[in-house]
Homo-oligomer: A and B are copies of this chain.
Amino acid sequence: MHLEEKTIDSQPIFKGRIIEVKLDRVLLPNGQESTREIVLHAGAVAIIAIDDEDNLYLVRQYRKPLERTLIEVPAGTLEAGENPLDCARRELEEETGMKAAHWERLISYYSAPGFCNEILHIFLATGLHAGSTHPDQDEFVELVTMPLLQAYKAVAKGEIVDGKSIIAIQMVQLKRAEQ
């Protein structure tokens, strides 16, 4: 089955610091025309950091699109050409003050492929120890630590509602179940 949509033209709408927006006119598989509203994003990393006592290092931060705070795994947007693991190391220390001895990439996925090209790389960080720097005060994040099992229950109770955090917590929980 032919599914591809060919671009007829592409109209730039907005270019910000985090996102770009464009409006593509496309040729559908049936020969008709339509438009596609597209948000371009440089990609991001997220880190599920677990200490030797099975505590997760999470952050609470204000999310302006929702006008509320969320509890999430530490995360950050990739800079142009940046290696995802380098970005993950930097973000973990900036947001939690912690470094990790062991890093493992768990998964890379698209957060909202219907309208956005953002890819998210999730890393598991273990062997945690305090870094040399304090968390960046301009990050405006509050550190929240909780046992992995409590975080897993917080997903079921609707207390953790951020997609990347849910995927990260469930992946680690599934790895445990398989062992």
Contact = CB atoms under 8 A, between A and B. Distances in A.
A13 B37 CA distance: 13
Interface in A25-65: 26, 28-30, 35-41, 44, 60-65
Nearest to A28: B140
A81 B167 CA distance: 28
A152 to B, nearest CB: 8
Interface residues of A, number: 68
Contacts of A138: 30
Contact of A112 (B4, B163, B167): B163
Contacts of A170: 167, 170-171, 174
Contacts of A155: 107
What 8 A-B pairs have minimum CB-CB distances, sorted nearest first?
A: A16-B37, A170-B170, A65-B117, A36-B64, A3-B62, A177-B177, A63-B113, A111-B112
Contacts of A128: none
